[in-house]
Structure formats: structure tokens, C-alpha cells
């Protein structure tokens, strides 16, 4: 029933609207494929391997002691939720 209703609505669209709809479908398809790839990867590696990869990634982050960090006040619950 929904499929038929959508077909009827699509038949009413202009060429420009159809192009936009086609682009939208392409985006949805790409997102679906990316999600499937992410799920496949998550199933292939164990939690320990994932943790190890994360730790290796964090080791690549800059460790410049001159880089300002956020103060304790910036992390306080009141300041986080006050906006």
C-alpha cells in the first residue's frame, strides 16, 4: 500500500524534484553500505583488538605540554549543562 502511494507521489514530481529524490536515494544507499561495512568490521575484531586499536590511535595524538587543556571548571556538571 505504501509502495503504491509513493509511486503515485513520484509520478507527480517535476524533473528537478526527481533529480533531488535520486540524489537522496543515493545518499541513503551509501549510508546503508557504510553502516554494513562498519558492522562487518565490528564483528570481525574482538573487544580487546578494538581497545588496542583505540590505544594505538590515542598514542598518535599530539602530546605538546604547551597546548592548553580545559580547566576543571570547564568540565564541571554545572558548566556542561548550563547552556
Q: Categorize the per-residue pLDDT at 83 as very low, low, confident or very high, splitting at 50, 70 and 90.
A: low
> What is the C-alpha separation between 6 and 11, in angstroms, rounded?
9
* Cell reading at 2: 505504501
Question: In this predicted model, what pLDDT tens digit does every residue of 37-71 receive, in sequence order?
Answer: 777 777 778 888 889 989 998 888 777 777 667 78
Domain residue ranges in the chain:
1-55
* Contacts of range 5-12, beta carbons closer than 8 Å, 24 or more positions apart: none
Q: DSSP states of 56-68 as a string?
A: HHHHTS---TTS-
Q: 9 or 34: which carries more pLDDT confidence?
A: 9
* Grid cell locating 60: 598518535
- Average pLDDT of the residues in 6-23: 93
Amino acid at each position: 500500500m505504501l509502495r503504491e502511494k509513493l509511486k503515485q507521489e513520484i509520478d507527480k514530481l517535476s524533473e528537478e524534484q526527481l533529480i533531488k529524490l535520486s540524489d537522496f536515494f543515493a545518499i541513503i544507499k551509501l549510508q546503508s553500505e557504510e553502516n554494513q561495512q562498519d558492522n562487518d568490521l565490528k564483528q570481525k575484531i574482538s573487544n580487546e583488538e578494538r581497545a588496542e586499536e583505540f590505544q594505538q590511535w590515542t598514542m598518535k595524538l599530539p602530546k605538546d605540554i604547551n597546548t592548553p587543556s580545559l580547566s576543571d571548571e570547564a568540565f564541571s556538571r554545572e558548566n556542561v549543562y548550563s547552556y
